[in-house]
Structure 1
């Protein structure tokens, strides 16, 4: 029975080659599953490959005797190519898609590794430009907050202030690198130090947000134009208009004073981070005094945080 089916299948497969060849020469896409389809592929497939396969199947069926092909085998052979072509096309597309996905993953991984290497080199060189739209690959909550602060300052059209976010990120990353070089990540000292450093950086982020809010409030005021107007047309202006222009200038000057005050706080935070990095770098972890020296550095950071909080509360009361 099996050999009868195989013999009928080989006959049906062989006889179907010619109509599929004609169809493929007219429209190759219907007869071959490759992309793009070519007529030479039709010729190779239906003049050589499929007839050779049918011949091999016929030879395989000889042990069962000749001239006893089954009808089911005939029908299966005639329909085989109609089933095989779309199935092969799907398999090819799946393999191509799988290969493309694998190449995409490899490319993204390589780009991520190259970007991480570049960021590390920039940190070591002290030249870092945070991109709010593309945070660093190893960004934590503090770095993401710095990116957000820089984005808000750029939206407020104050790139001169947004540079502070880059400097804060460079100092923050440097201190963390020093901590990782001196302490094990599982040590309590490392966690305490990292928490205090993050607290200092987040305080600076609050200052960046405050500067962005202040800058956005006076973004529509052209101080240079107002000054020129007062200098050029001051005597001819009415008292109310002149007073309104002066109040506008006072508003801009007061806002700039507050912005400079917040910027100076961030400069103090940068200094505190530098001091912490130097203090931790001097710690000799193999000596018995290492924990004492580390605690001293942490106490300095804690004092800075307390002073910053007190200064912020006093400034809020004055306002």
Structure 2
């Protein structure tokens, strides 16, 4: 009998078909559907979710036959890890499956906000071709600060090197395998950067890390790009900094409270927003789906897993 799994998040039909070749799949992407699935499918042995949606301890405890939780991406900040350990569950992530896609998107946002591309595009469409041709800043040879030099951060640094950018970073500890300048604190990184790309994971440790003090350190010529988690940036302080021109601009792929985006944020000047899509490309989706399926098959066959956290 094929193992039963619950897919808690939205997945493309091709991925669901891939799952169905090996497992009995209960597709429950909404909270209501998931709660119903918990009650209706007590034989469920694995749960597929992601870091943003996660799963609560109460939900895990009600799935009495559950053995495994898999997150589609690298994050697992909203998975109740205390419950995972209490119940002796296996947890794997999609670490590395979308790093190249997120890095590409981060550089695209950096270049777009530096060159003011969205605003210029709108003005040209409105008939202001000649008036839109003023000089715009470059990324070339500017100072790039990377807040979180993990796998994605490293790939961003590789891309930024092609623009002759001066690269520095802040982590909880200095890396011994890179030559980029290490900054002891986030504020030092902000002060010494023209662009800061946030690539840190979410969770209590990073919540509100980018607040008023950080934005003031970045300064009126500095740009903020967030492709990490929305909770890392204090949205109210970012809105104030943009309106008061205390920073030059911001480009966000993630927002606290998403998918709800406030009118106050949308109305802020010199801002680009994309809908948490950095990790979504045909190539990365394929990589993530294969990781989930392969880890599921390996678990039920008693074989080694990839990116196992617990």
Same fold (TM over 0.5): no
Q: TM-score normalised to the size of structure 1?
A: 0.19
More strand by share: 2
> In terms of Rg, which structure is larger?
1
